[in-house]
Amino acid sequence: MNKGDNKRERIDPKVKDVLKLLAVGTVMATVLLFPGIAGVSYFLKKEEQEKWKNDKKEWEKYNLGRLRQLLKRLQQQKVIEIKNGIVNITEKGSKRLLKYDLDEIKLKEKRDGKWRLIIYDISNLRKPQREMFRQTLKKLKLLKLQESVYITPFICDEEIEYLRNMFGIDKEVMILKIFKIENEEAYKKYFGL
């Protein structure tokens, strides 16, 4: 493989992917921004050196020039901050990262024989959170039974807990686990069971 082929394999970084990598570990981003400290791996313990190599492979798939531009832009937007040569995700960056997680959230079609009723009562003062919560329930393919009442036959406790925490609505949302529900066959058919 010649040098030209190697350049073609490099991809332009996306904010979402870079933030996810930064969330896992920021040392490699620091090395990319400040290449003079690249020898830092020499001082790492053996098990840390293996992680370092894996992280390096992840970062090296990106076009380095574009990656540096993106990191500097994220710093200007206050999504990341660089202090004493260390790259950290800010609160603004964490919120953006959570939104990306929200975009990718899915239910595993895992069952335990119970139905989950998700009931919520979120005040008008939190209308944006309520609307995002409702949209996410629809995205997760829960069936709307009534206003603010959704149902699913799939285990979703962790996902609902994540949404409660994300939107700050833990007291306004309840999960009821039930064994029987009226018109169960119709709901089973809806969920393809």
Domains of the chain from N-terminus onward: 3-102 (1.10.10), 107-190 (3.30.70.240)
Average pLDDT over residues 144-152: 92
Q: In the numeric block, which tokens belong to residue 60?
A: 């090296």
Q: In the numeric block, which tokens belong to residue 15?
A: 């904010």
Q: How many helices (H) and strands (E) does the chain have?
A: 9, 6
Say whether pLDDT at 146 is over 80.
yes
Please give the span between the terminal C-alpha atoms of the chain, in angstroms, as a whole number.
51
Average pLDDT over residues 7-25: 66
Structure confidence at residue 4 as a pLDDT band (50, 70, 90): very low
Say whether pLDDT at 152 is over 90.
yes
pLDDT value of residue 154:
93
Residue-wise burial string across 36-50, b where 16 or more C-beta atoms lie within 10 A, e elsewhere: eeeeebeeeeeeeee
Beta strands in the chain (DSSP E): 80-83, 86-89, 115-120, 143-146, 149-152, 173-178
pLDDT value of residue 149:
94
Lowest mean pLDDT among 26-35, 124-133, 141-150, 157-166: 26-35
Cα(162)–Cα(111) distance, integer angstroms: 19
Average pLDDT over residues 154-167: 84
Say whether pLDDT at 6 is over 60.
no
Lowest mean pLDDT among 24-33, 66-75, 91-100: 24-33
* Percent of all residues in the chain with a pLDDT value above 90, rounded to a whole number: 16
Q: Which residue has the higher pLDDT, 3 or 46?
A: 46
Q: Which residue has the higher pLDDT, 43 or 125?
A: 125
**Tens digit of each residue's pLDDT (9 = 90 or more) over 177-189:** 999 989 889 999 9
Cα(43)–Cα(118) distance, integer angstroms: 51
